[in-house]
Structure formats: structure tokens, C-alpha cells
Structure 1
Amino acid sequence: MVGIVLASHGGFADGIAQSAQMLFGEQNNFAHVILKPDEGPDDIRGKMEKAIASFDDQEEVLFLVDLWGGTPFNQANGLAEKHEKWAIVAGMNLPMVVQALTERMMNAKATAHQIATAVVEPGKDGIKTKPADLMPKSKAPAAAKEAAPAKGTKKSIPEGTVIGDGHIKYVLARIDSRLLHGQVATGWIPAMKPDRVIVVSDSVAKDELRKSMIREAAPAGVKAHTVPLKKMEEIAKDPRFGNTHALLLFENPEDVLRAIKGGIDLKTINVGSMSYKEGDVNANNVLSMNQKDVDTFHELEKMGVKFDVRKVPSDQAGNMDAILKKAQSLLDEKK
């Protein structure tokens, strides 16, 4: 496994490491070193050497540093000159670190050079502005301009057209009361590689502000939509979505049950987060339930649905039976 070293002036690397591990959980072969105001080049070089010595594999090392030409970069460069398999990427930001951890998680045989190449575009794409028109305009290549459709051209696929095998692919179906947020955008989406995120919720579909926030929270290259349950049932039966790989997000188990009864073919549900509401009990640190929730999970279980209880892909799966038993016990105590 590639060892990853984050390095920066001041506490920047420490903060990014903490943020990344909030999304991915504790990481092995992952270090963060900083150059303090009263330290010099030899100090941070020594920290780098100590970090690398702790890695399981010192043949493959990737440095993510804050500034090209700064002291952390220069010391990493001095170390890397003796190791042709090592790599350095400057301009470190959180999307870049998240992509590095994702690449490593998805492919244990990935090299430092491969991961270095993979993190550059996500690092760039992580830079966005609001309003969006504050982003500098990039010039499109001439060939792209020529290929662009004329204004007013409508790209629509006639009803009844069968694309691919005519069946939408669900790469993940997740219960998460926060819907599309950091753990989904930087953990599950890179891991599952959907081309669309679909929030399935009658209430959110009526809320223009939340719909807008969900669209804007989607990472580059992934479209985010919000649809009511009936619309999702139509999409599930529409053969024009045969090449679509969708990640579905539900706010609660009741909506999942309605979706399955409506014909949406979901075999496994990722249970990520259910925030506390009045009348709930805390089944664990991220799942709060009421009696209706517990009964719904049991009904889904009887239908053959499996539960994958994880906040992020790197978590160990939780025991849903134990969680439901604890929730039921706490609910009985409240009666």
C-alpha cells in the first residue's frame, strides 16, 4: 500500500488530515507533518523520515505538500530524488487528499505515481465559486466549439427507446437524513462511481432551496437530482435509463419501503445516518429511531432486504440486528 505524507507550513496538514479522517475513518500508512514557525528545514525533513519509517511499505510513498518551492516541498524533493517510485504533488487541498485515500482504498496495488496523477483533476475541480459566474472562463478548444450543438437544439430520447439493457443500475441505495453531504460526496461517490445521484423524497422535491443545495453539492462530473417517489418509480421502469448508474439517497426507511413496494429493485440498503427527532431513541451515535422506523426495518428484513450499516466505505459494517434490538429496548423503556 502506498504511504501518504501530508506536509505543510503551520498546522494546515494537521487540519486536512483530521478532516479526511472524519470522512474515511482512521488511516494506516498515512502521516501529516508540519513546519512550525520556530523550526527549520532539518526539522521537517526529520519528521518526514520518521513518518516514512513507520509505513509498512517504504518503496511507494506519495507526498502531498502545500506549496511548490516551499520548505516542505524542498525537503520532500530531496528525499524523493533517491527513490524513483516516490511522487510529490503540490497545491494540497481536501478534495485532493480525499481522492488519494479513495484511490488507495479501491486499488491496493496502485502506485504512488498512479495516485499522484489521479489526484490532480479532483484538486482542481474542488475550486468553485458562488455565484458560479465568478469562476474564470476557460477557453474551449476549437474542435470542441465546432462540435457544440447549435442553440435551441434539443437532445431528447423518444419514449420507448431501450438504452443498454433497459434497466437502471443502482450502485448504492443509502438512508441518510443529511442526504448529499461530505461523507457521500467525498466517500461514497468516488467509491461507487455513479453518474447520477438521485435524492428520492416527496418533501425535498417540493423545496426549491434544498434542491438547489443538493445540485451544488454534487462533485464534478456527477449530476444530482431530486425526485418524488412516484417519479422514481417511473424512472425505474423507463428503458431510456439503461446506461444510468445511480446512487439513491433516502431520508428514512419508510421512503425506502414505499420505493421497493412501488417496484424499485433494491436488494441492499446502506444505513448511514438518521438524525434525532422528538420521540426517537439513540440506537448508536449516528442512528436515531422511533417505533415506526424499527418496525419498517423489520418489514424490509422480512422482504429479504440486506442492511449495510456504514457511515463511510472504510468503516467496518455494523450489526443491524443488534442496533434494532437496542432501539426496541430503549423504546420499551420509554413506554
Structure 2
Amino acid sequence: MANPNILLTRIDNRLIHGQVGVTWVNHLGANLVVVANDKVAEDEVQQNLMDMVLPDVIQTRFFTLQKTIDIIHKASPKQKIFLVVRDVKDALSLKENGVPIEYLNIGNMHYEEGKKQISSTVSVDKEDIEAFKKLDELGVKLDLRGVPNEKGKNIMELLEK
């Protein structure tokens, strides 16, 4: 069975929103956006809001993490997939369960109490750091950037500061 054509996996706590969603889709040449998130998979209002942001030619799927794991390998090679998750723990869960994530773009992980800010858009706690380390050990390329034309940063170097 061929691997699904995942162009990029992105962590963004807002998932698809405004220019960012559109910018990445255009940059990648994606024709399918898969949002892997248990809450949004059951929230039609959220889904509609995200659909409205994207051009009509782009298809969207809103799957639970488990459904993503179960069916991603059935994707057609013609489906050029932009996979979006809310946080690093979800990305790790997908990777550990056979979703072929080779490259992970870290876009937005908002600041909360108890988190350490490591860039203008990314804050992490101990669990996040552990998850990034595991992904790194699994050979996933970790690239921190908000929009495609920014210079990417290696998150592992930022975590060590």
C-alpha cells in the first residue's frame, strides 16, 4: 500500500484560520486539508468556519485522531494532503500509530500558565518538550515557522535554551 501523500503536517492551536491556512495551502499546492482533532470532528460550527476560510477548490475533512489513523492510508495519491493538528501530543500520537509524518511544521502553540515561551508564537510545557524529543528520536524533521516565507528554526535548539 502506498503511503498517503502528506505534503506537510502543521501544529496550530487555531487549526485553519484566516490567511495562515490559505497561505500554507497555496504554498504547498495542497488540494485536501485534513484536520485531525477529536473536538472539531464533532463540531459542525467550527468546521463551517474553517471551510469558509479556504478556497472552494480545496476539500476538507474533519477527523478524530483515531479515524485519521484508521483511514489515512486509504488516501488516493492524487490527494495532496495538508494535515493540521492542534498540539504536539496529537502529532506524536498520529506518528506513533502509523501516520507517516516525516516533517512537522510548528506554527502556533499559545501561551498558557505554566508554559515557557520559546518563540513569538510557540510556548511549551514539560509534556510538550517530551513529545518533541520523541518525535525528534523518531526522525521527524521539526521546523518552527509561522508562514512559508519565514526562515524556519530548529525547535530542538530552542528547547535546549
Does the alignment pair 1:175 with 2:41?
A: no
**Which whole-Å CA distance do the structure 2 matches of 1:209 and 1:277 have between them?**
25
How many residues of Structure 1 are paired with residues of Structure 2 in the alignment? 161
Distance 2:30 2:51 in 1: 15
- Residue 108 of structure 2 contacts residue 122 of structure 2 at CA under 8 Å; is this kept in 1? yes
Shift of 1:166: 4.5
Q: Work out whether 1:200 is the aligned partner of 2:26.
A: no
Q: Which residue, 128, 141, 147 being the options, matches 1:293? A: 128
1:251 CA displacement: 0.5
**3-state SS in 2 of match to 1:202:** coil
Q: Distance in 2 between matches of 1:219 and 1:309?
A: 25
Query: Do the aligned partners of 1:177 and 1:273 also contact (CA within 8 Å) in 2?
Result: yes
Q: TM-score, normalised by structure 1?
A: 0.46
Per-residue deviation at 1:167?
3.6
Structure 2 CA distance for aligned equivalents of residues 185 and 301 of structure 1: 25
Where in structure 2 are the equivalents of 1:21-36 lying within 5 Å? none
Report what 1:184 is aligned to. Answer: 20
Match of 1:209 in 2: 45
- 1:175-197: CA deviations, max 9, x gaps? 11111123433321111011110
Q: What is the alpha-carbon root mean square deviation over aligned residues?
A: 1.6
CA offsets, 1:187-236, max 9 Å, x none?
A: 21111011110110112212222122112221231012210011111222
Cα pair 2:22 2:53 within 8 Å, conserved: no
Contact 2:5 2:77 in 1 (8 A): yes
SS of 1:269 mapped into structure 2: strand
Higher RCO (CA-CA < 8 Å; seq separation 6+): 2
**Does the 8 Å contact 1:235/1:241 carry over to 2?**
no
Matches within 5 A, 1:111-260: 166-238=2-74, 241-260=76-95
Q: Which residue of 2 aligns with 1:307?
A: 142
Task: Find runs of 4+ consecutive structure 1 residues off by over 3 angstroms.
Answer: none
| Structure 1: gaps (5+ residues) | 1-164, 327-335
2:119 maps to amino acid: N
1:318 to 2:153 alignment: yes
The match for 1:93 is none
Alignment identity in percent?
29
**Matches of 1:181 and 1:265 in 2, distance apart?**
24
In 1, Cα distance between equivalents of 2:113 and 2:44: 26
8 A contact 2:9–2:104 mirrored in 1? yes
Opposite residue 322 of structure 1, the aligned amino acid is E
More helix by share: 1
Taking structure 1 as reference, are residues 208 and 220 closer, same or farther at Cα in structure 2, changes over 3 Å only? closer
Deviations 1:1-54 (A, max 9, x none): xxxxxxxxxxxxxxxxxxxxxxxxxxxxxxxxxxxxxxxxxxxxxxxxxxxxxx
For the pair shown, the structure with the greater C-alpha radius of gyration is 1
Counting strand residues as a fraction of each chain, which structure ranks higher?
2
1:272 corresponding residue in structure 2? 107
Separation in structure 1 between the aligned mates of residue 66 and residue 99 of structure 2, nearest angstrom: 10
**8 A contact 2:118–2:159 mirrored in 1:** yes
Tell me the alpha carbon deviations over residues 283-331 of structure 1, each in whole angstroms, 9 at most, x when there is no partner: 11100111100110011111111111111111011131222123xxxxx
